[in-house]
Copies of this chain bind each other. A is one copy, B any other.
Amino acid sequence: MSERLFAEIEKRMKRIQDYVLSESYVRRFAPEDMQEAVTAYFRSGGKRLRPAVLLFACGAVGGDESKAVSAAAAVEIFHTWTLVHDDIIDRDTLRRGQPTVHEFFSQKSLRNGRFKSGDESAHHYGVSVAILAGDVQHGWGISLMTELTTRYGIDPAVTLKLIDTLDTYVLTTLVEGELLDVQQSRMPIEALTESDIEEMLWKKTGALYEFCGAAGAAIGLNTSDFSHPLVKAISNFTSACGAAFQLQDDILGIIGDEKLLGKPVGSDIREGKRTLIVQHAYRRASAAQRELLNRVLGNEHATSDEIAEVATLLVNLGGIEYTKERAKACIQKAIPCLERVPVSYYRDLLADWAKLMTEREF
């Protein structure tokens, strides 16, 4: 299944890439550092799973994918700006094998002599550029949404509904998820229930996937009625798959391949992320094992040996296995929703895509 799916994703990835990196957009961004910052993540690749699923959803309801291309680009850019800001918040320095935006411009400002080595201002400059670059990408994403009507003739009621939904319901949900993540990582593990964690991770990831399904279907049907049975069916499907995506992300964060991931495995441990893996393992840990977990999780001075020891412990206590089961359960819940959509090549692609959520290693 994967080869067909990858070929179809790849085709759309290239289309979105060409679309967003066209001169008419890029020349809007100035000065030079801002132009570089705003376009950096698009030049460096990425999985592009969100635009692909939006386009598949559009096709699956019998719509014309080519009318949804600006919306597909919009969700990718929308996702990107949230990463740029989250990387500042999570103090991540690497993403997709490249320095994150704030890290890159901090380093660049040292290289070009704007700041001197050891100057905290270089870090602050990098953070400033990344805050502003995310803001510009946010606006760019919304602007691309307006093209649904102005360039592709979609009913303006659909476009306005999508913009409103993306910029309030989806955005407030994403931000709530991110802030809950920050807050939970400071809380004692035993104070958190499984549903606290599943709520946080659906908000962080599921809400935008839900939107991708709804948007693709609504554009394909040219309807602003999100309670239309096909819009409901597909958005419920992508919503559940989004939760599985995040669970798999957490698994790869512990046992993934750094080269495929483009970021250091174990950083979730150092940051003290309260994943389902950690929560499940902690419940089954002995007193001595809990002591180790409490000492290493969220300890920025933890050694790589300690990180490795905790990773092994999380595996041995069944945290990975359990989380894998939960991810599969999400997909089990998703498939019946998809079955309400008429049979088509697009529906098959969506089913393949659902499997990818729990089987991917990148």
List residues of chain A with CB under 8 Å of any chain B CB. 28-31, 33-34, 82, 85, 88-89, 91, 114-115, 124-125, 127-129, 131-132, 134-136, 138-140, 142-143, 146, 149-150, 156-157, 159-160, 163-164, 166-169, 171-172, 175-176, 178-180, 182-183, 186
Contacts and interface: CB of A to CB of B under 8 A. Distances in A.
Given A128-B89, A128-B182, A132-B85, A172 B142 contact: no
B146 A150 contact: no
A131 to B, nearest CB: 5
23 contacts: A28-B168, A31-B176, A31-B180, A31-B183, A33-B179, A33-B183, A82-B135, A88-B128, A89-B124, A89-B132, A114-B186, A115-B186, A127-B127, A128-B179, A131-B131, A132-B178, A135-B171, A139-B171, A140-B167, A142-B142, A156-B159, A156-B160, A160-B160
A115 B187 CA distance: 11
Contact of A175 (B135, B169, B176): B135
Contact of A34 (B124, B125, B176): B176
A8 B316 CA distance: 69
Contact of A172 (B29, B89, B167, B179): B29
A287 to B, nearest CB: 26
A98 B185 CA distance: 29
B31 A136 contact: no
A164 B179 contact: no
A146 B160 contact: yes
Contact of A160 (B129, B136, B159): B159
Nearest to A182: B128
Nearest to A224: B150
A89 B124 CA distance: 8
A163 B176 CA distance: 25
A222 to B, nearest CB: 14
A131 B164 contact: no
A157 B160 contact: no
Given A29-B172, A142-B142, A171-B139, A132 B179 contact: yes
Contacts of A31: 176, 179-180, 183
Given A160-B146, A176-B30, A140 B168 contact: yes
Nearest to A132: B175
A94 to B, nearest CB: 19
